[in-house]
């Protein structure tokens, strides 16, 4: 019984040593993209506000049958300090047919100046029934805090190959990515 535990522990240690020995460029990949997380910490001046938190966004997203369509989504920014972190975007009303799914997009952000944050996020569009990936979308841009509870942004989009995650289209300027409002802690009135 004791020998089984020792063998299991040795197996775990070997796997851990193997994982820790993998060069970081193999994990993160090197496709000629600037690693925003590796840049020096950006200027911390500005309005003293931080990006971290949950935001409700509205952005113009013209559709062939509705040129005035407003896309709505939640964005949560997680990080330690105010220099870099993770972005999670959940679509509220992404315009896809009922048999199509727009997955939660995920990405990274890094402070690039006073009240400014560069970001990259990736989202998947797939068939609900089979899970077949139809499109992979990469979004890049800059978000700017205009106050502690209001944010605006820019958006460049590019299609990626679902198998290689390499770009298969030139970047498309999506213009403004709309405006976001921070969700603030509130007490219900009695």
Q: Identify the residue with better confidence: 38 or 72.
A: 72
pLDDT of residue 188: 87
Q: Say which CATH architecture domain 42-182 belongs to.
A: Beta Barrel (2.40)
Residue 31 contacts residue 25 (beta carbons within 8 Å): no
% of the chain at pLDDT higher than 90:
62
Mean pLDDT value of segment 148-160: 94
Considering the chain, what is the average pLDDT of its residues?
Answer: 80
The three state secondary structure string of the chain is CHHHHHHHHHHHHHHHHHHHHCCHHHHHCCCCCCCHHHCCCCCCCCCCCCCCEEEEEEEECCECCECCCEEEEEEEEEEECCCEEEEEEEECCCCCCCCEEECCEEEEEEEEECCEEEEEEEEEEEECCCCCEEEEEEEEEEEEEEECCEEEEEEEEEEECCCCCCECCCCEEEEEEEEEEECCCCCCCC
Is it the case that residue 20 has pLDDT exceeding 60? no
Residue 87 near residue 108, CB atoms below 8 Å? yes
pLDDT(39) > 60: no
User: Does the structure show a pLDDT above 80 at 163?
Assistant: yes
Nearest to 153 by CA among 39, 75, 37: 75
Q: Domain ranges in the chain?
A: 42-182
Phi, psi of 3 (to 5 degrees): -70, -35
**How much of the chain exceeds pLDDT 70, in percent?**
75
Q: How confident is the model at residue 123 (pLDDT cuts 50, 70, 90)?
A: very high
What pLDDT does residue 43 have? 52
| pLDDT greater than 70 at residue 155 | yes
- pLDDT at position 175 is 73
Q: Is the pLDDT confidence value at 42 over 70?
A: no
pLDDT for 45 equals 60
Average pLDDT over every residue of 54-75:
93
């Amino acid at each position: 019984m004791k020998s089984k535990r020792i063998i299991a522990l040795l197996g775990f240690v070997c796997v851990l040593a193997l994982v820790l020995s993998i060069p970081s460029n193999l994990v993160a990949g090197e496709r000629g993209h600037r690693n925003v997380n590796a840049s020096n910490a950006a200027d911390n001046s500005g309005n003293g506000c931080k990006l971290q938190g949950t935001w409700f966004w509205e952005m113009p997203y013209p559709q062939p049958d509705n040129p005035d369509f407003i896309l709505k989504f939640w964005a949560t920014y997680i990080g330690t300090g105010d220099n870099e972190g993770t972005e999670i975007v959940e679509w509220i009303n992404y315009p896809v047919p009922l048999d199509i799914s727009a997955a939660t997009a995920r990405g990274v952000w890094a402070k690039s100046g006073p009240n400014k944050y560069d970001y990259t996020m990736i989202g998947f569009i797939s068939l609900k029934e089979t899970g077949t990936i139809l499109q992979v979308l990469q979004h890049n841009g800059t978000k700017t805090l205009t106050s502690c509870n209001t944010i605006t942004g820019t958006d460049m989009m590019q299609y990626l190959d679902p198998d290689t995650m390499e770009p298969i289209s030139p970047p498309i300027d999506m213009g403004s990515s709309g405006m976001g409002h921070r969700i603030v802690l509130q007490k219900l009135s009695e």
